[in-house]
Amino acid sequence: MISSLRLLNFKAFENQLVEFKSLTLLSGYNSTGKSSVLQALSLLHQSHQQSLLQNTGLLLNGNLVNIGTANDALYENAKEDYVGFELILKNETKGIWHFNYNSLEREANFLESGFNSVDADVYQSSIFNGQLYHLQSERAKVASGILNYQRRELRQIGALGEYTAHFLYTYGGQPIPIAELAHPEAKSINLIDQVEAWMGEISSGLRIQVNAHLDMDLVNLKFSDHVGYGITYVLPIIVAILASNPGALILIEHPETGLHPQAQTKLGKL
């Protein structure tokens, strides 16, 4: 579990320490860097996922997050030409990564490794070796989707929730990993029934049906009632929470968007 993350010369931050608990809420005005904190964790994860982080560098655009160019990553008034992250875990192990910024390659989508100092156990932690879901503030329509490598091989629902339909088709019949999250009135402990039960807390009586058209590699979700934006927005959040293994890291931007305050309270209980 993460104890703290320091951001150095990254986007809006020259030197910012962020401390974490099992549930951490970031609030503040627009454009103050809340999303940048989540992006930093996803950048580290996706770079490690592609076997780049240890010796090569930082992948700025990948399956979890896209932040643009090297120039976009660097703090505007940086006094030194590097972007840095310092991660401390609850067991006091630490990882420090500095990535060099080259002014001649401002438009690059990659930052090369500079100084690294990483304890051996860090890469075995859940942020690198476990599940990580990062749901961005935008959402794709989740009613249907095409089979995709990220969904099948990496158990991802997509940064926009775009693989949610196929995720439910593939894993919906499996028990949720954390039994304590089970809804007491669900039909079973399986993911699809648990998702339906928790979605019913937000929209009473809601039912979800997963329909597959394998000849076209297409899966779509059918809801019992006409649903609004808030329901389709929150569905990937509930799927990510219920599908996560113990120790998984779930990063959610604007989880309350489109939800009635009472529905926000229900989501908070989960």
Specify whether the CB–CB gap between 161 and 139 falls below 8 A. Answer: yes
| DSSP 8-state secondary structure symbol assigned to residue 74 | B
pLDDT above 70: residue 70: yes
pLDDT above 60: residue 240: yes
Average the pLDDT over each of 54-68, 83-97, 253-267 and give the range with the smallest value: 253-267
pLDDT above 70: residue 3: yes
pLDDT above 90: residue 162: no
Q: For the segment 104-128, what is each residue's pLDDT rounded down to a tens digit?
A: 899 999 999 999 999 989 998 888 8
209: Cβ contacts below 8 Å, ≥ 6 apart: 221, 222, 223, 224
Reported confidence tier of residue 160, pLDDT bands at 50, 70, 90:
confident
Q: Which of 220, 202, 201, 223 is nearest to 211 (CA)?
A: 220
Mark out the alpha helices in 50-207 (DSSP H runs).
70-73, 126-129, 149-154, 164-171, 191-202
Global pTM reads: 0.86
Q: CA angle, corner 44, sides to 39 and 46, nearest 5? A: 90
Specify whether the CB–CB gap between 64 and 134 falls below 8 A. Answer: yes
Tally of residues, the chain:
270
Q: Which of 170, 162, 154 is nearest to 135 (CA)?
A: 162
Q: For the segment 33-59, what is each residue's pLDDT rounded down to a tens digit?
A: 899 999 999 999 999 999 999 999 999
Mark out the alpha helices in the chain (DSSP H runs).
34-49, 70-73, 126-129, 149-154, 164-171, 191-202, 229-243, 261-269
Tally helices (H) and strands (E) across the chain: 8, 11
> What domains does the chain contain, in order, with CATH numbers?
2-129 (3.40.50), 139-247+258-269 (no CATH)
